[in-house]
């Protein structure tokens, strides 16, 4: 049996994951659109990184032609004229690896370069590099060192062409992450032993299921918990969950009155036991601070690894869509406004100018989790300082509904969460997110990428546009509807 670099790394995360990948891959949840987008982005980063190695040659044979890839690599290694090899393939013992870059340092000595689309080294990269080192050494390659090449978060794109020497940072694996050859060999032996067994190892789900990456067998090992499971309590520590489960208490409704909980957690327990909405004493006062006209505002962004426009850095958030619902007076009609960037041109100026028009003169601009919109406006101010007064006015009128709800309202159907996706359907049941083609921000970013792609058909574009407008508009109309519900809730006695 032969395992790959990625299987070895999966096995470091969890031996059961490795076992499933090799013997029962059908148990995996299919790659999500988001996971596919991350993979595609990683490939683009890899292509840029190769530009740092002029004259490098790619081993193009894919995973279905590995013997050809190994043969081609051997020929390139033997050709002293080749300064670098991309996707070099080596097999040693039971492991096969493809090296991102094998850089020739002298006639017979090389440096192994692992390319990552992250902006900093991460501990698990040491295993990635460690297994390659073991295989390359075993295959007779003299390595004079290994390097990690990752994106430079401080690199500012000039809008023309990437300066590859600054777009990336090349470093050694930090000492605190280093893993010795003996440890790599030990892990490999253990993995091969586990793979030879007739059944998967008995590994309980835990933190490793999401760290360092979300395991593709997560749904298999972590079947959905009931909505009243004790772990839904906000910010409950895992030791407390373990205590409750050990006492046979699975449901929030079974938690005894004297079990130590925070005030918020106790509020959730009480609401779920009674089935009644808890209303805090300060709700009416908080809502009284709203001023008309009221705008309900939401932004959508993407954060590409490779910056697309001047002034952007890797992973900077690029706003591409906003939605505003506007109400001029109490009880008056609610008007919808929106902006969606429709092509590959820089959306920042049209985004901001159209937004300024939509919220002009607003007394309060209601958002949900102010930090997000506020940070995006700060970034727009950095890129477009000529809009300082408009941005300052928008920020001054912003009014965050999230802390108001968190402090003053708990509905039994929030399920322990104050996210808009939980709060809106609980307070306004007719506004569920179920059935929307786009249901969350990452999906919106992917849909927008397809929408502006010149290769997308006009028919699909029209469909995507409708889905994006529907999704972003749902959030802001939802804020308006939540406000109506909150205003009708009975007043709690003053604190």
Interface with ligand SF4 (CB under 6 A): 14, 16-17, 20, 203, 205, 208-209, 215, 217-218, 221
Minimal distance, residue 350 CB to ligand SF4, in Å: 44
Minimal distance, residue 205 CB to ligand SF4, in Å: 5
Q: Nearest-CA neighbor of 140 among 78, 222, 187, 65? A: 78
- How far, in Å, CA of 114 to CA of 100, rounded? 6
106 contact partners, CB below 8 Å, separation of at least 6:
144
Minimal distance, residue 142 CB to ligand SF4, in Å: 36
Residue 215 or 397: the one with the smaller Cβ distance to ligand SF4 is 215
CB 316 within 8 A of CB 324: no
Residue 204 or 329: the one with the smaller Cβ distance to ligand SF4 is 204
Minimal distance, residue 9 CB to ligand SF4, in Å: 12
Minimal distance, residue 209 CB to ligand SF4, in Å: 3
- How far, in Å, CA of 351 to CA of 144, rounded? 50
Structure tokens belonging to residue 360:
């002009």
Residue 29 or 247: the one with the smaller Cβ distance to ligand SF4 is 29
**DSSP H helices in 345-491:** 348-359, 370-383, 388-397, 401-408, 420-427, 441-452, 458-488
Residue 217 or 451: the one with the smaller Cβ distance to ligand SF4 is 217
In the block, tokens 């073991």 appear at 134
Query: Phi first, then psi: what are they for 6, rounded to 5°?
Result: -65, -35
CB 73 within 8 A of CB 58: no
Structure tokens belonging to residue 149:
């090449």
Minimal distance, residue 220 CB to ligand SF4, in Å: 7
Helix (H) or strand (E) holding 3: strand 3-4
Q: What are the start-end ranges of the E strands in 226-333? A: 278-279, 294-302, 318-327
Minimal distance, residue 475 CB to ligand SF4, in Å: 31
**What angle separates helix 125-138 from helix 5-13, to the nearest 10 degrees?**
140
Residue 171 or 225: the one with the smaller Cβ distance to ligand SF4 is 225
Minimal distance, residue 219 CB to ligand SF4, in Å: 8
Q: Nearest-CA neighbor of 112 among 124, 98, 92, 122? A: 98
DSSP-derived 3-state class of residue 364: strand
Residue 221 or 447: the one with the smaller Cβ distance to ligand SF4 is 221
Residue 22 or 82: the one with the smaller Cβ distance to ligand SF4 is 22
- How far, in Å, CA of 113 to CA of 133, rounded? 11
Minimal distance, residue 204 CB to ligand SF4, in Å: 7
Angle at 45 between CA 381 and CA 49, to 5 degrees: 115
Residue 221 or 426: the one with the smaller Cβ distance to ligand SF4 is 221
Residue 218 or 315: the one with the smaller Cβ distance to ligand SF4 is 218
Count of alpha carbons within 13 angstroms of residue 207, beta-carbon side: 3
Structure tokens belonging to residue 432:
């569920």
DSSP-derived 3-state class of residue 166: helix
- How far, in Å, CA of 20 to CA of 17, rounded? 5
Minimal distance, residue 6 CB to ligand SF4, in Å: 14
Minimal distance, residue 60 CB to ligand SF4, in Å: 33
Buried b (16+ CB within 10 A) or exposed e, 192-217: bebbeeeebeeeebeebbeeeeebbb
Q: What are the start-end ranges of the E strands in 64-205? A: 84-92, 95-104, 109-116, 142-151, 168-171
Residue 20 or 90: the one with the smaller Cβ distance to ligand SF4 is 20
């Amino acid at each position: 049996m032969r395992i790959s670099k990625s299987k070895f790394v999966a096995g470091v995360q969890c031996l059961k994951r490795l076992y499933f990948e090799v013997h029962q891959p059908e148990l995996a949840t299919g790659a999500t659109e988001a996971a596919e987008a991350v993979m595609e982005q990683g490939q683009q980063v890899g292509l840029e990184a190769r530009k740092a190695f002029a004259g490098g040659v790619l081993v193009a044979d894919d995973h279905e032609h590995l013997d050809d890839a190994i043969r081609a690599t051997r020929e390139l290694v033997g050709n002293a004229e080749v300064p670098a090899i991309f996707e070099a393939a080596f097999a040693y013992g039971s492991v096969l690896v493809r090296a991102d870059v094998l850089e020739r340092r002298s006639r017979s000595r090389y440096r192994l370069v692992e390319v990552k689309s992250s902006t900093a080294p991460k501990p698990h990269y040491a295993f990635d590099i460690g297994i390659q080192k073991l295989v390359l050494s075993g295959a007779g390659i003299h390595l004079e060192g290994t390097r990690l090449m990752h994106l430079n978060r401080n690199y500012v794109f000039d809008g023309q062409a990437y300066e590859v020497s600054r777009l990336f940072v090349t470093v050694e694996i930090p000492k605190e992450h280093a893993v010795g050859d003996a440890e790599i060999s030990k892990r490999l032996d253990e993995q091969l032993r586990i793979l030879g067994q007739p059944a998967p190892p008995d590994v309980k789900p835990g933190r490793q299921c999401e760290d360092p990456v979300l395991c593709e067998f997560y749904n298999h090992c972590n079947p959905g918990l009931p909505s009243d499971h004790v772990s839904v309590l906000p910010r409950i520590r895992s030791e407390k969950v373990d205590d409750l489960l050990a006492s046979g208490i699975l449901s929030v409704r079974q938690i005894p009155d004297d079990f130590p909980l925070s005030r918020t957690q106790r509020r959730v327990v009480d609401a779920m036991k009674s089935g009644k909405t808890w209303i805090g004493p300060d709700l009416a006062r908080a809502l009284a601070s709203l001023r008309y006209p009221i705008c309900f505002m939401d932004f959508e962004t993407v954060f590409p690894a490779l910056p697309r426009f001047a002034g952007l850095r890797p992973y900077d958030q690029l706003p591409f869509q906003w939605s505003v619902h506007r109400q001029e007076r109490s009880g008056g009609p609610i008007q919808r406004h929106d902006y969606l960037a429709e092509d590959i041109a820089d959306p920042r100026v049209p985004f901001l100018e159209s937004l300024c028009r939509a919220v002009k003169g607003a007394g309060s601009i209601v958002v949900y989790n102010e930090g997000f919109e506020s940070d995006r406006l700060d970034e727009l101010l950095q890129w477009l300082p000529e809009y300082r007064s408009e941005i300052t006015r928008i920020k001054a009128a912003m009014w965050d509904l999230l802390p108001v709800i968190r402090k003053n309202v708990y509905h039994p159907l929030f399920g322990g969460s104050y996210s808009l996706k939980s709060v809106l359907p609980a307070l306004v049941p007719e506004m569920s997110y179920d059935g929307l083609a786009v249901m969350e921000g990452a999906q919106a970013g992917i849909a927008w990428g397809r929408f502006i792609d010149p290769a997308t058909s006009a028919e699909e574009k029209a469909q995507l546009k409708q889905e994006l407008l529907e999704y972003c508009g749902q959030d802001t109309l939802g804020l308006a509807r939540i406000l109506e519900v909150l205003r009708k809730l009975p007043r709690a006695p003053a604190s």
